[in-house]
Amino acid sequence: MAPSTTTPPIHPETPMGEILQAYPSARRALFMRYHVGGCSSCGYDPSDTLADVCKSHNILDVDEVIRHIHASHEADIRLQVDVHETQRLMQANEGWRLIDVREDFERDIAALEGAEAISQELVQSLMGGPKDTKIIFFCHHGIRSLDAASYFVGHGFEHVRSMSGGIDAWSQQIDSAIARY
């Protein structure tokens, strides 16, 4: 069963490259639950099928893995907010914090006004604060920010989002004066 009509179905014989293309959260989901794909000893090739990966990691229930990938994908969709909604939330002044998880050199190229740069100190401060803090993470294209949002949700935060498309989408849809790279 596929989570929506816009994503292709996953079958045991689907190559991992195709799965990761259609379901970006699969990489994180497989590592977190099954310790698959996080290092050279548990890695796989994009041409390996899901059945091959399951077999090589002694995972007997391929259908359960497929269900887990779908559930992770749906959870990621719920975490995402588009650039227009991000702009609306920031302008509404409802206490949302905009946190940039990109590298320093990326922030030197393009930045969003009012965004806080991620740092170890900021993460520690947030972790020690209230779990109902409203946070929107962003990066270049929305992948690293989704990882950050997932991390915070995993630590009990209730109002965390990832700006889909990242600063690149912001530049294309909201403010063309923001440099693209």
Q: What is the pLDDT of residue 38?
A: 78
Burial bucket for residue 166 (CB in 10 Å: 0-12, 13-18, 19+):
buried
Contacts of 66 (CB under 8 A, 6+ apart): 10, 11, 12, 50
**Measured distance between the N- and C-terminal CA atoms of the chain, rounded to whole angstroms:** 37
pLDDT band at 4 (very low <50, low <70, confident <90, very high): very low
Distance CA 52, CA 11 (A): 12
pTM: 0.81
Distance CA 170, CA 25 (A): 22
**Per-residue pLDDT tens over the stretch 77-114:** 999 999 999 999 999 999 999 999 999 999 999 999 99
**Per-residue pLDDT tens over the stretch 158-180:** 999 999 999 999 999 999 999 99
pLDDT band at 127 (very low <50, low <70, confident <90, very high): very high
**Per-residue pLDDT tens over the stretch 8-34:** 999 999 999 999 999 988 998 999 899
Q: What is the pLDDT of residue 40?
A: 79
Q: Is the pLDDT of residue 2 over 50?
A: no
Residue ranges per structural domain of the chain: 16-78, 82-173
Task: Annotate 96-127 with DSSP letters as a single string.
Answer: -EEEE-S-HHHHHH---TTPEEP-HHHHHHHH
Q: How many CA atoms lie within 13 A of 162 on its CB side?
A: 27
Q: Is the pLDDT of residue 1 over 50?
A: no
Q: Is 12 helix (H, G, I), strand (E, B) or coil?
A: coil
pLDDT band at 3 (very low <50, low <70, confident <90, very high): very low
Do 135 and 97 form a contact (C-beta atoms < 8 A)? yes
**Per-residue pLDDT tens over the stretch 32-65:** 899 998 787 889 999 999 999 999 999 999 999 9
CATH 3.40.50.1580 describes domain 82-173: no
